[in-house]
Amino acid sequence: MLTFSTNPDVAEQQMNAIIFYLTAFGYIDGEFDFTEKTFVRIYIRQLVSARAKAAMPDADPKTRDEVTNRFVTHFHEVFEHIDRSVKDLFDEVVADGEDVEKYVYAKLKLKSYEIFQAFDTENQHELLATVDELIYADGSVHPAEARFRTELEALLSSSDPAVTSLGPDDIEVLPDQNRIAIEGPAALRPRLEDHPFFAGFEQHYSADPDRIRSQAAADLQLMQRFLGKLEEQRRAGAGRLAGKQMVGDFAGQRAFLDGHVYMHPAEPGRIYELTVLGDLHGCYSCLKGALLQADFFAKLEAWRLDNRKPEPKLILLGDYIDRGRFSYNGVLRTVMQLYIAAPEHVFPLRGNHEYYIEYRGRIYGGVKPAEAINTLVNHMPGEVFAEYMKMFEELPNMLFFDDMMFVHAGIPRDVDIRAKIHDFSALNDPDLRFQMLWSDPSTADFIPEDLQAQNARFPFGRLQFEAFMQKLGCSILVRGHEKVDAGFRAMYGDQQSLITLFSAGGADNNDLPPESSYRSVTPMAATIRLENGSAQVTPWLIDYERFNDPRRNRFFASRPRGRSAAQPTLCSISGGEAKNRLRRGSLNRS
């Protein structure tokens, strides 16, 4: 029987980890059946009983039974929650050409691998023995179960410190990095209820063919102006990344865009106030609310009048489209208008949803599902989506602001970091840029290369993150990409910090379809104040509810008319279909 930490918080985490592992393993053979679920419930009771006996050796049986039953009920509820969370994996976004089931398989393997890292060697063997019991719980060993166990054991062997390429001694603290302080969540109340900036483009797409052609023409013109301004910045910054190894090499230079990489050194003596937004996913009320809560327009005007004031910057981490109701006409229009109005102060980065592909003359969404394009594809001229595809390809991928890095997802794979990154110009490599739109941080210290290679959406570990940040001379990475229900999450942080920010969501946000899984998210933004080498990060709640009001948001002042303004639809294989295929026993890694 597994042994647990004497620290109750750690023991709770260990129990939750074991339950996840057993639940995930139950799905590997294609159906988590009644026999396997019964085994998990019984095993939970056995673990709780053993813990109660060890912790309360002198208690009378009645008292111990009461405590045991209370905790068994609690962990059975945890089991039900984890079971639902595994099912929800089938609704996650995958890249074009990827199989949802293979993604889930890799995700389950990653989480199981992470769980093992929390246990010592003896308990790892005990957990593997528990897995063996589960394999035989239904009376037979499914080939997928046996393969999964074998692959997991191989991963554990490959992560042994003797065979990994990284260790704690490989990471050193750079003496001139920013000092980072992450504050508790704040509440910001908007000074204004609206702003004239928004008045011109808060309008639904029309069902009238002539009217929607006129709207499409206006959107095309806006995209062309946006692309023209990007190209102007690129010409001015072309070639300036070459030969530079670390962000400190750019000190004293003016900000520039070289290819798809923004570089913004901090000017000595200047104070910066950065407003950062994560994934917006068609949640226009979140975008508008955050801009007014941050008082971005007034602060920009004040700085232009007196540049001794903090200089405001707006950093957008991508994923402007899909999921919500106002992708093109709300969020993208606003982002483009913001950038055109203040190109030195607004940094629109690309997300993995800003990825379209062309096949036989037609444009398709490059992620599954891709609601925004599927909703309008039969109502807008094809040239509009071709221009969106072009615009998405031209969006910058990352921003280095002083020694802080902003990117949609994360860092590249180990094998490509070693092979390709010799100076900053290498970050314009298309493969590296694609990887940095998809990767996710893991709680494990190190992720073996074969696990990184299995999916476009791949994991990286703490040591890999710290080594990459040290290679570039960076202190903090701010990213979006993951649906974090709290809206804000800080990880690692011993020497370099990683922050995940998610700015779409809201339990009663009318920007989202009623059934949206994003309703579980509390949408957050963050302010980063940079002064004299110190960065203070303050997350804050986005007041989307105030801007669901038709008095403050013209999208809600009238109802959309016609099919072109209907709720988003799904494309390709849906999560429900994947679940059906799972129940038919087709989940495997082939």
Q: Residues 153, 227: one domain?
A: no
Torsion-angle region of residue 357: left (phi > 0), alpha (psi -120 to 50) or beta?
Answer: beta
Q: Residues 98, 190: one domain?
A: no
How many of the other CB atoms lie within 10 Å of CB of 122? 10
CA angle at 102 for the pair 33 and 433, rounded to the nearest 5° = 145
Q: Residues 391, 252: one domain?
A: yes
Q: Residues 195, 340: one domain?
A: yes
Amino acid at the residue 366? G
The tally of domains found in the chain comes to: 2
**pLDDT score of 323:** 94
Amino acid at the residue 213? R
Report yes or no on 24 lying in a domain. Answer: yes
Among residues 254, 293, 299, 263, which one has the least CA distance to residue 277?
A: 293
Q: Measuring CA to CA, how many Å separate 403 from each of 264, 265, 414?
A: 9, 8, 21
Report yes or no on 492 lying in a domain. Answer: yes
Q: Residues 154, 191: one domain?
A: no
Q: Residues 153, 189: one domain?
A: no
Q: Residues 116, 201: one domain?
A: no
Amino acid at the residue 451? L
Give residue 186's domain range: 179-558
Q: Residues 150, 217: one domain?
A: no
Question: 369: cis peptide before it, omega within 30°?
Answer: yes
- State residue 291 phi and psi, 5-degree precision: -65, -40
**pLDDT score of 574:** 38
Report yes or no on 574 lying in a domain. Answer: no
Instruction: Determine the Cα–Cα distance for residues 578 and 587; give it in Å rounded to an integer.
Output: 9
Report yes or no on 451 lying in a domain. Answer: yes
Q: Residues 225, 297: one domain?
A: yes
Q: Residues 232, 106: one domain?
A: no
pTM of the model: 0.84
- Mark the ranges of the chain whose per-residue pLDDT is less than 50: 160-175, 563-590
Report yes or no on 489 lying in a domain. Answer: yes
DSSP 150-212: HHHHHHHHHTSTTT-S--GGG----TTSPEEEEPPPB----S-S--GGGTTT--PPPSSHHHH
**pLDDT score of 572:** 34
Report yes or no on 565 lying in a domain. Answer: no
**pLDDT score of 32:** 81
SS3 at position 83: helix
Report yes or no on 265 lying in a domain. Answer: yes
Question: 513: domain CATH number?
Answer: 3.60.21.10
**pLDDT score of 217:** 94
Query: Of 93, 124, 158, which residue is a domain's last?
Result: 158
**Which residue pairs, CB below 8 angstroms and at least 24 apart, start in 299-303?**
299/273, 300/342, 300/345
**pLDDT score of 583:** 37
**pLDDT score of 553:** 96
Report yes or no on 322 lying in a domain. Answer: yes
Q: Residues 200, 126: one domain?
A: no
Q: Residues 82, 138: one domain?
A: yes
